[in-house]
Amino acid sequence: MKKLADINKDFAQWYQDVIYEAELVDSSPVKGAMIIRPYGYSIWENMQKVVDQKIKATGTKNAYFPLLIPESFLKKEAEHVEGFSPELAVVTHAGGKKLEEPLVVRPTSETIIYAMFAKWIKSWRDLPLKINQWANVVRWELRPRAFLRTTEFLWQEGHTAHATKQEATDMALEARQLYKDFMQNYLAIPVIAAEKSASERFAGADHTYSLEALMLDGKALQMGTTHVLSHSFPKSFDIKFQDKDGKMKVPYCSSWGVSTRMIGGLIMSHGDQDGLIIPPKIAPIQVVIIPIYRKDDEKELVLNKVEELKKQLEKLDIKVFVDDDDQTTPGAKFYNWEIKGVPLRVELGPRDLKNNQIVVVDRLEKNKQMISFENIATEIPKILDDLQDKLFKRAEKRLMDSWYQGDKLKDFGSTLEKEAGLYQTGWCGSKECELKFKDYKATIRCVLDENKHSQCAVCDKKSEKDILVAKAY
């Protein structure tokens, strides 16, 4: 068993240790790509299940579009192709021949989806059109890190068309709220929902809204984004509809997505020196039961009771796993399930049978408590709910404790570079001043709807709005 790197001294190595020791991923023979192992994929499936339900509740329907996109499609929207060019993977040969037109492995699907929208949208009656797909995308990352930035990753991407820009904006904001609810109530990660600066927008968008979270090491992580696309996007694909007044018009579009990056956010928000901590609402295994016995006559009695307990918890819709591997010691099992972040561990041995109880240990605080068999149905769900709540409140406190106010970059920049955290400050809105934050390895994470700071942090001009600045993944 490998000892995890010190979470306080080498957070990056701790992260790498956890994702491999917890069997979330494995190395891939393809540079920059990751193999998601069953335990890691089950976390993604749980995320997918909840987010998919929320997306469908907006009236959005699932579909699927091809992985390969004609290169000419991306070139139709100049800003879009320019933004993605460095990350594109392009197929030039297939079937033993050079292709007449190269095919791009999708970095995102706006272009191919809007080519189809041009066929499907003819009248105002066809709007709004709301489509989502769960898919893989490829972006050629220079500095890959599993779950955070990889050559290939999994995500969902929603694409919608509307009669008015306000409707497209409302959809982008509704999607952002959907994500915020999921991240806070399921992942137990507090997020800041705000707009990106112009330079940080999605390529081809008029507005990009993001959800920013603060990781254990004080760096920010963009957990998801939603976009109101430029009108040039649907114009480029000749999407038109006849409105109620009989005139031909161009619809307004939104796009939005979250990805397997959320797993990285989960790890870096809730881990500790012993490994991962998974919030109960999203955990593949919520309760692991460890039977403890030494003699064969004890084994049968204990395992019978364990099976009874398992069935009782499953009736409460609790995800349970029994670790009855005789080749592994209880101590090794404790270590394994702690690294994997299972919320609750239940121990049951001969002495517990005599005392009519189980031993319960929670993953967050390692509190050990005895619960009588009669109280299991009420106590276990309560402990899981409390743990979910504690994880969110702990992360929320860390966010608030690491949220600083700064007037001038020259005063707080060195502290930001050294200690990280979120810094709220003023900004005049200029690109020149925005670039100055990079001197301290930081970027504008989002623009806030408030103005506590009257002057720009870089120059002496009046601040348009406050911004949040941080080092980020």
Q: What is the pLDDT of residue 78?
A: 67
Q: Give burial (CB, 10 Å; 0-12/13-18/19+) of 211.
A: buried
Following DSSP, what letter does each residue of 237-295 receive, concatenated?
A: TT--EE-TTS-EE--EEEEEEEETHHHHHHHHHH-BTTB----GGG-S-SEEEEE--SS
The tens digit of pLDDT for each residue in 296-334 reads 789 999 999 999 999 999 999 999 999 999 999 999 999
pLDDT digits (tens, 9 = 90+) for 328-337: 999 999 999 9
**pLDDT class of 60 with cuts at 50, 70, 90:** very high
pLDDT surpasses 80 at 81: no
Task: Kindly indicate the confidence band of residue 87, based on its pLDDT and cuts at 50, 70 and 90.
Answer: confident
Domain(s) labelled CATH 3.30.110.30 in the chain stretch across: 403-470
Residue 49 contacts residue 182 (beta carbons within 8 Å): no
Residue 233: pLDDT above 90?
no
Alpha helices in 25-131 (DSSP H): 38-56, 71-75, 78-84, 110-120
How does pLDDT run across 137-180, given as a tens digit for each residue? 999 988 899 999 999 999 999 999 999 999 999 999 999 999 99
Mean of the pLDDT values across residues 98-111?
95
Q: To the nearest 10°, report the CA torsion of 347, 267, 419, 427.
A: -140
On the question of pLDDT at 232 being above 90, the answer is no
Band of pLDDT at residue 352, cut at 50, 70 and 90: very high
What is the value of pTM for the model shown? 0.95
CATH number belonging to domain 11-270: 3.30.930.10
Work out whether strand 97-105 and strand 89-94 pair parallel, antiparallel, or are unpaired: antiparallel
Q: Locate CATH 3.40.50.800 in the chain.
A: 287-383
CA distance 35 to 33: 7
| CATH class of the 403-470 domain in this structure | alpha beta
- The matching CATH number, chosen from 3.40.50.1580, 3.40.50.2000, 3.40.50.800, 3.40.250.10, for 287-383 is 3.40.50.800
Q: What residue spans in the chain does CATH classification 3.30.930.10 cover?
A: 11-270
433-465 confidence digits (pLDDT tens): 999 999 999 999 999 999 999 999 999 899 999
